[in-house]
Structure formats: structure tokens, C-alpha cells
Chain A
Amino acid sequence: MTTDVQTTTPSSPPTDQLDSASRLRRSLSLLGSLQGYIGLVLIVLVGIITKGQIFWNQQNLTQAIGAFSSRGILAVGETLVILTAGIDLSVGSILGLGSMVSALLLARHGLSPFAILPISMAVGALCGFCNGIGTAWLKIQSFVVTLAMLNVIRGIDRQLSDNVSVGTQIVTSNGTLTKNSHAFQAFGTPGHNVLSGVNLPFVGKAGIYYPVLALIVVVIVFQLLLSKSKLGRHIYAVGGNPTAARLSGVNVTAVTITVFTLCGLLAGFAGPIDAAYNASADPLAGTSYELDAIAAVVIGGASLSGGRGSVVGTFVGALILTLLDNVLGLNSISDNAQLIIKGLIVIAAVVIQRPDFFRSVVSAVRRIPIPTRARQSTSTPEES
């Protein structure tokens, strides 16, 4: 009935036998881009060379990462959205709202931090849900929806606070902090750690600075979500080719709404951190934070057209941004020079992330075209 089709060249069935070099490359590409790590190492080296122990000590690094922590958490949420080829411009406003809600709940209603955090997350999730509905259901472009929500949420924030900042260090009549106020500082007021007294690796009994801990936990949880769960694959599919995703059985609407909700949830999660870091919530808190978040995502190797990127890559991007700021500050570089340098670094980071970057650099240097992978045919050309 049927005969096996033969080919003159042996067809190699796809194998999983990788040599160690390509296995390393493959695992690195899962965890962000190689170029991102190189950039991070470079900045750390510059810091160590120029400032030595002043830069490379636990306190400085903790403070530097802690200062960027809320923006880093925003960047993780933004990664999810950007992976689906959307964008969320309202994360800064949602953070501000979460920050203000946390401060108001503490100052005016005396709630404990354990009650404040879930409420702030719920508020953020609700804002994100609105973004998702606007994008997926009303089919408005996410840029437009989230730009509008940026203003709406900021307006609500300012209305709630009557345009004045609200402090979180509430003192009682005899000059000490209230119990809840004191506990609230654990969210990230400088100098306050959590889990102090517990003997932990690396830090001993000094405890951990919560913003750093929160950022790392968020990164781990969402990296696992993206790489190991079904939702994660759906997110990559929707961003890579929404039609193919839909025809493969992915519910694109549900995935879109979910990523925006998660993004808002994370912004709400970061709200108390921002309020505690400043020991107050400002009605304008979080303004322009979305730009930092998007910068971290892009430096981390994600593509704004969706389908490419990872949470760990974003984390590396966030580290690059904050350590760069730290190294420049410790070296007392002038403000204007800092702006220029940071801008150039962002451009450089994006350019070297391009897949064919190394190849085009090497070929330009060598002036020989690098051969792409080609199989050798065993047959000889015939003459006519």
C-alpha cells in the first residue's frame, strides 16, 4: 500500500542530546538574557573598582535595592502585560493609590498592617481588572485604556487625600508611636527589618529589609508562574501570536484580563512599601514610576511587541538601573551627567539584546560572513 519515503540525505530526528555549552546557553536564555547579566556584572565591577568596600557592602546594596523595590515589583507586573504585547501606563498611579489607601487606613482607621496589605492588593487588583476589561472586552488599545486610567486613578488618589500628604508615623500623646504605626514601619521604613532575632543565613539575627525580601519573593513566584504554569505558556502564546493562541484553544480574553489584574495586584502589593519607605503617602506618589518599570522590563530583554522576555530578566534590568544610580551617586557624578549616562545605558542595553547583535559585530570586525547552521548534502551536483 504505502512505501516508506526515502531521502538521499539522512534526516536527523530532533534529539535532546545537547552539549554542555548549548545547555548552558539554553538555561541562561530561560533566565533572562546573557547580555543582561553581562551588563550587571560590568556595573558591579565598576562599583567595586571605583568605590570598593563603600559600594560592596551589605548595607549599601540593601539600601540601593530597597529604594528601587516598589518600582521593581511594578516591573514584574509590567513584564506580564508586555509579554502579551500590551502595556500598562497606570501602574504608577495604582501604586500611588495603594500607598495612599495604606496610609489612610493606618492614620485614620488604625488598621494593622496585616489588614492593610490585603486591602491595598485588592484595590490594585480592581484597578488592574478595569484595565483588563477595557483592553480585552471593550477592545480599546491598552496604551489608551491605561493612559486614561492613569489620570482617573490619580484623581481618585488626590481626592481621597484632599491633595495633602498623609504621614504613617503616628505619635501618641506621650510622644511614642502607636502600635500599628510601629508595626507598619516593617513594610520598609529605612532602618527597620523584619524577622530580626531569627537566625537566618547570610544576615544572622539582624533581620531582612522587607522591600528587598518582597521583591525577591515576587520575582521567584512570578518567574515560576511564567515558566512552569499553563497560564505562563498562554501568556507567551498570546503575545507571540494571538491568532495562533486562539486557534490553539487559548482563551485570549481571559488571559489578557488576568495579566492586567495581576499587574494591578502587584502595584497594590507595593503600595504599603512605598508608604513605609517615605513614612508618608504623597498624593503624587508613584508619578512616572511606570517609566522606570518599563525601562527595567526592556533592559531585561523583553520585546515590546510581546512574546519574548522573562521575570528574571526584568529583575536583572531593575538591578542594573538601581545599582547604576548607586554607583554614579557614590562617585558624586553631577546630575546632568547622570541623566545622560542613564539614557545612553538604556539604549545600549536594548541594542545589545538583539539576537543577531554578536554575529553582526563579529562579522563587521572580521569582514567575513558567519555561516548559519547548514547541513552538508552528501550528493554531488549533476552536470546538464
Chain B
Amino acid sequence: MRQCRVAEQQLIEVAKALSLDVRVLVMDEPTSALADAEVQRLFKVIRDLTQRGVAVVYISHRLEELEQIADSVTVLRDGHYIGRRDMSATTRDELIGMMVGRPLRELFPRTADDDGAGREERLVVEWLDLAGDRRAGRAALHDVRLSAHAGEIVGIAGLMGSGRSEVLQSIYGGYARRDVKIRMSLNGRPYRPRSPHYAITRGLALVAEDRKGQSLVLDNTIAFNAGLAALPGFTRLGFVRRRKLRAAVRDHAAKLRVKAPTIDTTVRTLSGGNQQKVVLAKCLMTKPSVVLLDEPTRGIDVGAKAEVHELMNQLAAGGSTLLVVSSELPELLAMCDRILVLCDGRVTGEFSRAEATQERILDAAMARNGGAR
């Protein structure tokens, strides 16, 4: 099971639940890691179940899914019951209003004017080959090309297992050198990924896919986690300059609006959204020029999602380059200036903001031979 990616694990969880003879089925975010094709398959199964008389409680924050599958919707916020509506009698805006108190257009704050057109090329990957590893659940990559400018947000789309996370990890240096064949340049100069430490010193930062398993030391504090990657900048003669570090952490936590009593709160007790903000704080403290984000808003509430998107906007406006992997097409379509599509480890499509539509991206993601453009 460990070798399966998060999305595959989720499908297996669903299958496990369905294999039992159920009368009431409660599903808690069953699609947060699934791409659209798998979601449709799941919905068909749910419709079959309801027709057989099974009651399904479907917990999700993806309103577009609820519109497809739900008969009625109950909204909870901060542990309180907010209200219940018939799905047909309500609008998405009303639901979001109940969930968070803010309108939809503020969930995705990026507009076509924000892209980094005309700015210099920051990151260029001429070719990237990655050896697959069945046992570790790693997909292989073949001849992946990409480029990104300063101030640009580039999205990477594809089905699960298509190699999206692998692209980010390869660039970041998270794999052994012998497995990665790459030619890339950073700020015009050739760059050879060696290790995460090397990447950090050269201005790269990674927000990994699985924040609990890959990014956070859960039993330790916000201050510890946020300061972990930036330690070299706060160390003198091997000793950490604690006061300076804590001041910087406090700064970033305030800017990101991390909701916690103090920066000495244990990270395990935070909500998903706040945990993700701690991870972001850790990355931002290294003052990166390129930020690699792998599913940055997976499993976090709408309010936090909006804040993360706002942050992405601010980073891009400040000149940083962002590469974003996401399974949520609406997010990619709304936030990215360009979208790359992967299928089976190859680039099968590249769309600018104007060209990109959900159908075109899905076509490219599922194409077996060659790509659609």
C-alpha cells in the first residue's frame, strides 16, 4: 500500500468501503486526490448505490461535485451547524457564502492581466528523463520540456501516475542523481540538481504533495517546522540564532495568517489549512525565486484555499516563478498563466491561459500517443 500514490490509496479506500454490504455509507473527501475521469466513475457507483436504497453521506468541499451528486447539502463551519439546503434550490455562491462568508470571485483572484509576459526566462528544462521505480511507486519521465518566466505561474496537469510530482521532485533534486538525466538552467546559468539542500541554496523551494508525510515534523512546533529549511541563514558557528529565527517565523506566520495560539503550538493540532500554511512559511523563509507547489490546496477548507491562491498571486507579482501541480482543473484554469499536460511521463500538451479549457486538458491527459495541441 505504501508504494501507491495518495490518489491510488484513496481509490482503494473507496473500494474497501464498497466491498462491505452497506446501508449507510459515509464518504469523507473521497475525491480529493482523484482526477476528473476517476471522479465520474465514482459518481456512477454512488448513483447505483442510492438507487438500491443506500443512504450516502458525502463530505466534500468541492462544490462542483456536490452539484452533480448531492440531493441536499448541509453546511458546517468551525464545528457549528450553519444550515441545510436542497441542492436544486441553492446556488454555489450561497453555499460558499455559508461556508466562508466570501464570494466565489475571491476564491480565484488571478486575472489575465497578472501573467508574467515579457519578463525574463527564469527556469528552462531542455530535457528531463527519469528512471521509474515500481517499488517506490515512481513514474518514469521521458523527454519532458518546460520553461517558466519570472512572475509566471505555470500549471502541470495530468492523470494520477502521469509523472507530475516526479517533474517537480526531479527539478528539486529529491531523487538520486543517477536516476535523473536532466539539462536545465536557472536564471540563464546551467543548473544540475544535486540535493534538496543544494536546491534551497540556489533559490528553489518545494511544497510536497503529502504535507503530513513529506513536509512536516508533526510532533514539533510551528517555529521548528517553519525554520527548518532556512536554518543555514540563521546559524552562526554551528549555533542557531534563536531570537532572530523566531522573529522571522512570527513574521511569516502573521503574513500567512496562520491560526494558532502561539508559534510553539504543536503542528499536529492544526487544521489542514494551517498546516499547509506552515509548510508555505517554511518555503518562503528560504527566500526562493522558484516555488514548486505540489497540490497546494488539497484537503484544506475554502477559506484557506483562497488565502493560498492570494499568496500565489503575491509571489508571482513579486517576481517569483511558480510551478503548480494540481488535480483540480478549475484551480489550474483560474490561477495559471500556462498549463503543461503530462501523460505517461511525456508532455502531451501545452496551453496558454486563453487557449486552455477543461476538455482540451483532459484530452491531452488521456492521449496515449502524441499530444493534442
Is A–B contact present in the complex under a CB 8 A cutoff?
yes
Residues in chain A within 8 A of chain B (CB atoms): 1-3, 5-9, 11-16, 18, 26, 228-231, 233-234, 236-237, 240-241, 243-251, 307-308, 373-375, 377, 379, 381-384
Question: Smallest Cβ distance from B60 to chain A, in angstroms?
Answer: 19
Q: Which A residues touch B199, using CB under 8 A?
A: 249
- Structural contact, A16 and B250, CB atoms closer than 8 A: yes
The 6 A-B pairs of least Cβ separation, nearest first, read: A240-B217, A249-B197, A384-B84, A248-B229, A382-B83, A13-B254
- Some 27 contacts from A to B, beta carbons below 8 A apart, are A2-B109, A2-B310, A5-B310, A11-B257, A13-B257, A16-B246, A16-B263, A228-B240, A230-B231, A234-B231, A236-B224, A237-B224, A240-B218, A240-B220, A241-B218, A244-B215, A245-B228, A247-B196, A247-B206, A247-B214, A247-B215, A248-B200, A248-B228, A249-B199, A249-B231, A375-B78, A381-B83
- Structural contact, A2 and B257, CB atoms closer than 8 A: no
> How far, in whole Å, are A369 and B203 apart by their CA atoms in the complex?
48
- Structural contact, A5 and B303, CB atoms closer than 8 A: yes
- Structural contact, B196 and A248, CB atoms closer than 8 A: yes
- Structural contact, A7 and B254, CB atoms closer than 8 A: no
- Structural contact, A233 and B262, CB atoms closer than 8 A: no
- Structural contact, A6 and B102, CB atoms closer than 8 A: yes
Contacts A229-B239, A381-B82, A383-B83 known; A307 to B259 CB distance under 8 Å? no
- Structural contact, A14 and B217, CB atoms closer than 8 A: no
Interface of A is mostly: loop
Question: Smallest Cβ distance from B200 to chain A, in angstroms?
Answer: 5
Q: In the complex, which of the residues A12, A233, A249 contacts B224, with contact meaning CB atoms closer than 8 Å? A: A233
Number of A-B contacts (CB under 8 A): 148
Contact residues of B between 234 and 274, Cβ < 8 Å to A: 235, 238-240, 242, 246, 250, 253-254, 257-265
Q: In the complex, which of the residues B78, B85, B265 contacts A14, with contact meaning CB atoms closer than 8 Å? A: B265
Q: In the complex, which of the residues B79, B261, B307 contacts A5, with contact meaning CB atoms closer than 8 Å? A: B307
Given A18-B262, A248-B200, 11 new contacts (CB under 8 A): A13-B253, A16-B250, A230-B231, A233-B227, A236-B224, A241-B214, A244-B215, A379-B77, A382-B83, A382-B98, A383-B83
Question: Smallest Cβ distance from B236 to chain A, in angstroms?
Answer: 10
- Structural contact, A16 and B262, CB atoms closer than 8 A: yes
> How far, in whole Å, are A218 and B282 apart by their CA atoms in the complex?
33
Among A230, A246, A373, max chain B CB count under 10 A is at A230
Question: Smallest Cβ distance from A75 to chain B, in angstroms?
Answer: 22
Question: Smallest Cβ distance from A162 to chain B, in angstroms?
Answer: 43
Contacts A26-B264, A243-B213, A373-B261 known; A384 to B85 CB distance under 8 Å? yes
- Structural contact, A8 and B101, CB atoms closer than 8 A: yes
Residue of B nearest to A307 (CB): B219
